[in-house]
Amino acid sequence: MLTILLPPSPPCVYFSACHGAVRAMSRSQATKLWQGKTLVDQLAAQGIIIRSPSMRGVAEEAPLAYKDVSARIGPDWSR
């Protein structure tokens, strides 16, 4: 499960993202296309900080390894 912590007005709320069903490729395919350290640096440049004990794990979870979630679950999923 992928958990995202957002800082709304108190208290902070955890949100979960769809996981698995929206993969565009396998984890092994992702590790052949991306390197974890490169992804960490690219995402940091966009203000997204990744903390992981495994750079392979970061590569497995590369953003482009997933389909567009909004296309998968629809635009009104949060209602």
User: Who's near 9: CB < 8 A, 6+ residues apart?
Assistant: none
Catalytic residue status for 15: no
Annotated active-site residue in 2, 19, 24, 37: 19
Q: What is d(CA 19, CA 51) in angstroms, rounded to the nearest whole number? A: 19
Residues annotated catalytic, as ranges: 19
